[in-house]
Structure 1
Amino acid sequence: MQSLELADLFRAPCKTCGAQLKFSAEKQKLACDHCGNTEDIGFTRNKLQENPLDFKVENRQLPNAPTEEKRIFACQNCGAKTTVNYDVPTLTCAFCGSKNVNPEAQKTRLIEPAGVLPFRLSKEQALQRFKTWVGDSWLAPSDLKAGAALDNLHGMYIPFWTFDAQAHSSWEGDAGFYYYVPVQVRDANGRTVTQQQQRVRWEYRNGRHQAFYDDMLEMASRKLTQQENHVQEASRYDLKEIVDYDPRILLGWEAEVYSIDLNESARKAEEQIQEREQSACASQLGGDTQRNLRVQTELSNQTFKHILLPLWICSYVYNGKLYRFLVNGQTGQIAGERPKSAWKIALLVLAFILLVLFFMYLGKK
């Protein structure tokens, strides 16, 4: 497949005035900031094809998937890599906020994205979500909403891999069922009393389980995986809205290059499938308790896609400290850090202690 040069990715002159067009999240069209002209893109869903992948291959080679050439900017401060427009004189890293001079970009051959989920949340909408979210916690300082100064707000397409696989599992194990028998014991006063003691009846069982795992999502950004809890919360996308990859959708936005390769992500997906199969087989085994559960899982029809998903990467400053948060560029879901008020926490602890003392007082009456 013919590679895409940077000019193909970033050059779309307005037909009215010749200025550079950008993709508008609100209009879902290419829009000109200079004259206001808009142009339809014409989203399609004809090229979202799966690429075959063999999970059993230990040293996976670059698969026979479409590739492209892009210009890569590597941040001099944190090392994050993004695709960039070569004519921008300075760049602000979306991950660490450092200011960088755009160096001579290097060309790197990459697996081309099969699809992209266009931004639906504009910068103004993301800012409004932040203002609502930042003051929406009782434990946060009362002046947080007024005192939080937005430091960085970057709309970025984040690389992901999706994986499909058919799983076939065979399992065996012992299911335990509780029952109770009366036992004569002595109580604290030396009297003989009857108690019901628990026993377990074990039953050997075996069976099979199969399931198809569709579009298992694995983030391919090593920088963002360092914020794993926030990333998972903000990365709940409706993948049905993905359209064919069109470089024009990236106009005016940043796009990170995948830093977690296909092999590593495929192994993670396989581990997740194994864990889910283990849980599903445990459910089939049943019982009140279990022992010696053994599961053997084989995978077939494994495929993958490379896609780009929208995320606002943001930070704000409160009382001189930097806090980070993420906004889902499709749904507006927010996840991130918020400072906590020391006196509110102390008040909550005091209320809990008083509640415990109150119940202790009632118990003594």
Structure 2
Amino acid sequence: MSVIEYKCPNCGSGMVFDSKTGMLSCHSCGREDNIEQLPDPMSPNVFSENEVMEYHCNSCGAVIMTEAETAATVCSFCGSAVVIGDRLSGTLAPAMVIPFSISKEEAMNAFRKWCKNGRLTPNDFMTADRIEGITGLYVPFWLYELHNKVEVHGHGTKVRTYRKGDYQITETQHFDVYRKIRLNYVKVPIDAAEKMNDELMDKLEPFPYGKLKEFKTPYLAGYIAEKYSYDDKELFPRAKEKIKEYINSYIQSATSGYTTMSFTNKQIDTRVKQADYVLLPVWMVHYDYNKSKYTFAMNGQTGKIVGKPPISKAKVTVWFASISGATLLSLKLISLMMGGGFW
């Protein structure tokens, strides 16, 4: 087992990936190194002085306790960023990664602003101490390229109504409809971490796939990373289900122009052309509020925030009262304009 840390050549402090500069940075002395020019730490004899047989922090010596899926984390005692090398090798090595572009400070500010925009959110919701618990997490995804062969048979009608003398005539034509379609979808994302909420991850899309980079472990320094819990074959059924609505929508558009359309047979053959294992950046906030658990997530590249905040009953009461008052005032004004009186 190996623990990989990136020590600053100047001062020996731990280095982390800086989302603003795209460099590996030392927060102690300010040194920056280009990730693209660093040697691969997973190759033989690279960073071997930092490898040990147990998961220990190389900065303070503390034992690093992680779940089986964790591939990168932060030491709870000294805050040093560590990457667990043997969980990122072989079949567990991601092909690509989208680095964080939003810093922790920016994410915290964005969460605060987002919460303040909630008119019915309690005033003490998302206080500073809760926001500071934000976690930068690289979530494992499979990106599928799916090729689909589609054949549909159906019955369509075209109805025309017109008048002829004193008569209204309805003319109905019947058609046998057949379509043979090829549809290819690329970079269909499915999150592969058991602990992540699938609905929450789906709502974070889209990720900017043009920002994908060849995977290098320095990107993980300073963040937590998970390895996949399910392989691409196990998640293939979910990927098929995810594109189903898009396929049906295309079929509808390909058979438009009829007054009515009913399908008698629909065959969809979906094959995986390619599935790439990637890590995508997500800021997460977990906490309890009034004995209920809340989870919020932010796309670490686009800044999109998803989650459902609690509702203040007091604010709801005030809001309904204001709406009712405004409605009553409007009705009274209308009554006066029409010559009526108050009631």
Q: Same fold judged by TM-score > 0.5?
A: yes
User: d(CA) in 1 for partners of 2:231 and 2:78?
Assistant: 25
Query: 1:197/1:247 Cα in 2 relative to 1: closer, same or farther (>3 Å)?
Result: farther
Which string of whole-angstrom CA distances, capped at 9 and with x for unpartnered residues, describes residues 64-90 of structure 1? xxxxxx989654xxxx731246x9366
Which string of whole-angstrom CA distances, capped at 9 and with x for unpartnered residues, describes residues 285-314 of structure 1? 223432234222334561110000000111
Instruction: Check whether the contact 2:137–2:283 (CA below 8 A) recurs between aligned residues.
Output: yes
- Specify the alignment match of 2:12 in structure 1: 18
Among 140, 150, 175, the residue aligned to 1:159:
140
Q: Any unmatched runs of 5+ in structure 2?
A: 39-53, 56-63
User: d(CA) in 2 for partners of 1:105 and 1:15?
Assistant: 21
- Displacement of 1:344 in angstroms is 3.7
- Displacement of 1:275 in angstroms is 4.1
Q: How large is the Cα RMSD of the aligned pairs?
A: 4.0
State the AA in 2 paired with 1:21: M
User: d(CA) in 2 for partners of 1:166 and 1:173?
Assistant: 23
- Specify the alignment match of 2:71 in structure 1: 83
Q: Determine if the alignment matches structure 1 residue 295 to structure 2 residue 266.
A: yes
State the SS of the aligned residue for 2:133.
strand
- Specify the alignment match of 1:307 in structure 2: 278
User: d(CA) in 1 for partners of 2:318 and 2:206?
Assistant: 35
1:143-154 paired onto structure 2 within 5 Å: 144=125, 149-150=130-131, 152-154=133-135
Instruction: Check whether the contact 1:282–1:293 (CA below 8 A) recurs between aligned residues.
Output: no
Query: 1:279/1:321 Cα in 2 relative to 1: closer, same or farther (>3 Å)?
Result: closer
User: d(CA) in 1 for partners of 2:151 and 2:325?
Assistant: 52
Q: Any unmatched runs of 5+ in structure 1?
A: 45-69, 93-103, 183-195
- Displacement of 1:323 in angstroms is 2.6
- Displacement of 1:338 in angstroms is 1.3
Q: Determine if the alignment matches structure 1 residue 29 to structure 2 residue 16.
A: no
- Specify the alignment match of 1:205 in structure 2: 177
Instruction: Check whether the contact 2:72–2:220 (CA below 8 A) recurs between aligned residues.
Output: no
Instruction: Check whether the contact 2:2–2:86 (CA below 8 A) recurs between aligned residues.
Output: no
User: d(CA) in 2 for partners of 1:355 and 1:203?
Assistant: 53
- Displacement of 1:331 in angstroms is 1.3
- Displacement of 1:241 in angstroms is 0.4
Name the TM-score, length of structure 2 as normaliser.
0.73
Instruction: Check whether the contact 2:87–2:93 (CA below 8 A) recurs between aligned residues.
Output: no
User: d(CA) in 2 for partners of 1:318 and 1:346?
Assistant: 20
- Specify the alignment match of 1:270 in structure 2: 240
Instruction: Check whether the contact 2:150–2:269 (CA below 8 A) recurs between aligned residues.
Output: yes
User: d(CA) in 1 for partners of 2:120 and 2:255?
Assistant: 44
Name the TM-score, length of structure 1 as normaliser.
0.69
- Displacement of 1:154 in angstroms is 0.7
Instruction: Check whether the contact 1:151–1:316 (CA below 8 A) recurs between aligned residues.
Output: no
- Specify the alignment match of 1:216 in structure 2: 188
1:106-117 paired onto structure 2 within 5 Å: 110-117=91-98
- Specify the alignment match of 2:51 in structure 1: none
State the SS of the aligned residue for 1:167.
strand
- Displacement of 1:252 in angstroms is 1.6
- Specify the alignment match of 1:342 in structure 2: 313
Worse overlay, 156-165 or 267-276: 267-276
Q: Determine if the alignment matches structure 1 residue 175 to structure 2 residue 187.
A: no
The total of aligned residue pairs comes to 301
User: d(CA) in 2 for partners of 1:88 and 1:147?
Assistant: 22
State the AA in 2 paired with 1:294: N
User: d(CA) in 1 for partners of 2:86 and 2:33?
Assistant: 31
State the AA in 1 paired with 2:19: A
Instruction: Check whether the contact 1:174–1:285 (CA below 8 A) recurs between aligned residues.
Output: no
Among 6, 9, 14, the residue aligned to 2:2:
6
User: d(CA) in 1 for partners of 2:253 and 2:14?
Assistant: 57
State the AA in 2 paired with 1:165: L
Higher strand share: 1
1:126-145 paired onto structure 2 within 5 Å: 126-142=107-123, 144=125
- Specify the alignment match of 2:59 in structure 1: none
1:59-98 paired onto structure 2 within 5 Å: 75=67, 81-84=69-72, 88=75
Instruction: Check whether the contact 1:176–1:203 (CA below 8 A) recurs between aligned residues.
Output: yes
State the AA in 2 paired with 1:34: S
State the AA in 2 paired with 1:342: K
User: d(CA) in 1 for partners of 2:177 and 2:78?
Assistant: 61
Which string of whole-angstrom CA distances, capped at 9 and with x for unpartnered residues, describes residues 67-123 of structure 1? xxx989654xxxx731246x936699xxxxxxxxxxx99969643210011111111
- Specify the alignment match of 2:300 in structure 1: 329
Which string of whole-angstrom CA distances, capped at 9 and with x for unpartnered residues, describes residues 257-295 of structure 1? 111322121222223344432331222122343223422
